[in-house]
Amino acid sequence: MNRTPRLSHQSTSRSDSGRRSRSGDARSYGPSRSSGPRGDRGARAQGEFALPVSVTAALPAVASFAELAMPAALLATLTGQGVSTPFPIQAATLPNSLAGRDVLGRGRTGSGKTLAYGLAVLARTAGRRAEPRRPLALVLVPTRELAQQVTDALAPYARSVALRTATVVGGMPIGRQAQDLRRGAEVVIATPGRLKDLIDRGHCSLDQVAVTVLDEADQMADMGFMPQVTALLEQVAPGGQRMLFSATLDRNVDLLVRRFLTDPVTHSVDPATASVSTMEHHLLQVQSFDKSAAITRIASRDGGVIMFTDTRHAADRLVLELLAHGVKAAALHGGKTQPQRTATLEHFRTGQVTALIATNVAARGIHIDALDLVVNLDPPTDHKDYLHRAGRTARAGASGTVVTLVLPHQRRSMARLMTSAGITAQTLQVRSGDPELARITGARIPTDVRAVVPNPVPERTRGASSAAGRRRTRAPYAGSATQPSRSAPPRRTAIPA
């Protein structure tokens, strides 16, 4: 399998994969000399595998949650949450997962995968009590954000059946997570690296785990987590139930399926290249000299927008520029601490931040209600990245628009990528002041009155014990930069790689 992270193609700064980019332009949302996305060549090399055929016939799908053999408390909570009719992937998989079958499920981002496996995990674990450090169910996810989203989504249902959950991710105090495990948690939602650390330190054992879920396994493979995932799966109780859910199933995932799933029930409610019917796709061809102006006008729209760029440095730099133009912008990438990322997302959800400038760390596991616009400032590297970025909008039946800004040298490669994604996009040449840009994106002239956004919870400087030191770390926030206090000399701060 290929464990090498993808290379960013437009910047010498380090991307979220930690690998150095190829071109000399650090502003990756501006001009680039690269050939752009790899298109369908990479898609063929990492194509999807043939789904296994179940030996034992699958149970039929249900039309309502009431038909399922679930605890009454879970059914009551579904009603209380306003969830009345199961999504297709839920209707198809829950009868089988509740019966204890291994499940291989594919559904697009926003299709309801979390409840599809989450309800089964909780129903099959209800009534049991975990010993300290020995969880009964495990959900493995690739990113902190997805772990938190899963935790939040399952919280009311877990409470209804008196199950304790623990979230185990990097970027958060490991001592607190060890304490949660020591108190006992029936269900653990974890990223592979941090869970391995806790196991190595003796804070967790998986020998009682009877239900295991892999969510977005393909991204775990892309991020190089396959050895850790494999080692963790080898530690769970033998003969237990295993479920794998993802929006895409490439050949790296096939290794997990063949090794760890026994006669799985396979449900693919969407084809590998599926796009949401309520989602519009636009390729807006722009010129390099006008691209920054177009970005600023789009970011100045009335309403929220997520803008994807390739590198952390580009995200941080763009945030500073947008703030100066009056846009309430903030960056989200792997160089931020987990408290900062959590706070930034909350500010975006509440409208205190309106333009979220993100790297691919936000391409999966981020759910923002009613987000109707996603913009690719840098074309994604392959069709899977495109689909997952696009999946931030048009979720759960809502409508949304996905825009990709395309420079002249990127047009052919972007056309190949869209073919690989199975998407027909509307292509249009635009300038920053064109009415068509405003019609598609809501772009408008910026105010140029400097914007102020909330502080994203800066981390306390390690070793700082004085009140003055603590005050310095709480300086006002201006996008991605921390401003020094007036009483202290300016410090040079390198943007994390």
pLDDT at 210 over 50: yes
Name the domain count of the chain.
2
| Residue 343 clears pLDDT 50, i.e. is over it | yes
Say which CATH number the domain at 344 has. Answer: 3.40.50.300
Whether the predicted pLDDT of 98 surpasses 80? yes
Q: Assign 220 a pLDDT band (cuts: 50, 70, 90).
A: confident
Q: Average pLDDT, stretch 429-435?
A: 95
Domain-located, residue 65: no
Same domain, 169 and 258: yes
pLDDT tier, 484 (very low <50, low <70, confident <90, very high otherwise): very low
- Average pLDDT, integer, range 279-298: 95
Helix 113-125 / helix 88-98 crossing angle, nearest 10 deg = 20
Of 217 and 291, more confident? 291
Range of the structural domain that residue 110 is part of = 82-268
Q: Which of 167-181, 320-334, 464-478 has the lowest mean pLDDT?
A: 464-478
Tens-digit pLDDT profile for residues 122-149: 999 999 999 999 999 999 998 888 898 8
pLDDT at 147: 92
Percent of the chain with pLDDT over 70: 76
Tell me, what's the pLDDT at 135?
98
Same domain, 251 and 325: no
Q: What is the pLDDT of residue 186?
A: 98
CB 166 within 8 A of CB 177: yes
Q: Residues with Cβ < 8 Å from 265, sequence gap 6 or more?
A: 54, 56, 58, 59, 93, 96, 97, 101, 102, 103, 104
Query: In this predicted model, what pLDDT tens digit does every residue of 58-95 receive, in sequence order?
Result: 999 999 999 999 999 999 999 999 998 998 889 999 99
**pLDDT for res 396:** 56
On the question of pLDDT at 474 being above 60, the answer is no
Q: Which of 237, 268, 299 is the last residue of a domain?
A: 268
CB 393 within 8 A of CB 279: yes
What does the pLDDT read at residue 270?
55
Under a CB-based contact definition with an 8 Å cutoff, are residues 270 and 111 in contact? yes
pLDDT above 50 (res 467): no
Give the residue with greater pLDDT, 456 vs 31.
456
Q: Are residues 253 and 284 in the same domain?
A: no
Claim to verify: residue 128 and residue 171 sit in the same structural domain: yes
Predicted confidence at residue 480, as pLDDT, reads 39
In a domain, 455, yes or no: no
439 or 339, greater pLDDT? 439
> What pLDDT, on a 0 to 100 scale, did the predictor assign at position 364?
63
The residue out of 268, 285, 300 marking a domain boundary is 268
pLDDT reading at 476 higher than 80: no
Q: Are residue 210 and residue 300 in the same domain, yes or no? A: no
Residues 194 and 285 in one domain: no
User: What is the model's pLDDT at position 6?
Assistant: 35
Looking at 243, 268, 293, which one is the last position of a domain?
A: 268
Question: What pLDDT, on the 0 to 100 scale, is given for residue 177?
Answer: 97
Shared domain for 172 and 258, answered yes or no, is: yes
Query: Which two structure tokens, joined as six digits, stand for 135?
Result: 């969880």
What's the confidence (pLDDT) of residue 469? 41
Please tell me the predicted confidence (pLDDT) of residue 402: 92
Same domain, 424 and 297: yes
> Which residue in this structure is represented by tokens 């020094």?
484
- The answer to whether residue 58 sits within a structural domain is no
The average confidence (pLDDT) of the chain is: 80
Judged against a pLDDT cut of 60, whether residue 29 lies above it is answered with no
Asked if residue 466 is part of any domain, the answer here is no
Half-sphere exposure for 335 (CA within 13 Å, toward CB) = 23
Q: Is residue 402 part of a domain?
A: yes
Assign 196 to helix, strand or coil: helix
Whether 282 and 259 share a structural domain: no
So what's the pLDDT on residue 464?
Answer: 39
Strands 137-140 and 211-215: parallel
Using CA atoms, how far residue 399 sits from 281, 295, 360, 369, 440, in Å, is 11, 22, 22, 11, 13
Residue 74 lies in a domain: no
Q: What angle do CA 429, 434, 438 make, to 5 degrees?
A: 105
Q: Is residue 306 part of a domain?
A: yes
Whose tokens are 């975006």? That residue is 348
In this structure, the answer to whether residues 263 and 285 fall within a common structural domain is: no
| Same domain, residue pair 217 and 321 | no
Please, what is the Cα angle at 240 between 237 and 244, to 5 degrees? 115
The amino acid at residue 152 is D
What sign has the CA pseudo-torsion 204, 150, 153, 103? Answer: negative
Residue 497: the pLDDT is 35
Q: How far apart are CA 232 and CA 230, in angstroms?
A: 5
pLDDT tens readout for residues 237-271:
999 999 998 777 766 778 888 889 999 998 876 55
Higher pLDDT, 280 or 478: 280
Statement to judge: residues 362 and 225 lie in one domain: no
Closest CA to 188 of 173, 172, 209: 209
Q: Where are the alpha helices (DSSP H) in 99-189?
A: 113-125, 144-160, 174-183
Cβ count within 10 A of residue 408: 12
Residue 472 burial (CB count, 10 A): 19
The pLDDT score that the predictor gives to residue 2 is: 40
Tokens found for residue 36: 């752009």
Query: Is 448 among the domain residues?
Result: no
